[in-house]
Amino acid sequence: MSTQVTDVYGNTSTYGSSGSAQRDARDAQANVDRERVLLEAAQTGDYSAISGYQNMTGSDRADVKSSANSILKKVNALEGANTGDYSNASSDAPMLYIGGNQNANSYDRVFSDGKVMLFMIALQRLMVLST
């Protein structure tokens, strides 16, 4: 029997039935659970549900908040790709547009290679043309 794990970004991975595949599935699910807690913390601003957060030093707390905000940024960027609704896109909250040869896995390539600025310039021009 195979196991499927869906991450906070909407990507589903399937793991086989062997012992090592099931360990990989458990590890993946634990990572998804951790990311889900971080995402909720970034969305609400309440980090108390994160294990050990109250006892962390300032720099450790900053690392946790940075990780949480990174997950939130990626979830928001993929919202349009996953739902087809780009109405919340802005210069402060860019979204990944799925078109041409892009897919939801293009996030790292687009946002890590500095192509966001090109997208935002194109979006701004489109907004100017439509007014």
Residue 93, pLDDT score: 64
Residue 9, pLDDT score: 83
Task: Count Cβ neighbours within 10 Å for each residue of 21-47 and write b for 16 or more, e otherwise.
Answer: eeebbeebbeebeebebbbbbbeeeeb
Closest CA to 111 of 92, 89, 91, 94: 94
Do the Cβ atoms of 47 and 60 come closer than 8 Å?
A: no
Residue 64, pLDDT score: 92
* Per-residue pLDDT of the chain in tens (131 residues, 90 and over written 9): 899 999 988 889 999 999 999 999 999 999 999 999 999 999 899 999 898 988 998 899 999 999 998 888 888 877 776 777 777 666 666 666 655 555 555 555 555 554 444 555 555 555 555 54
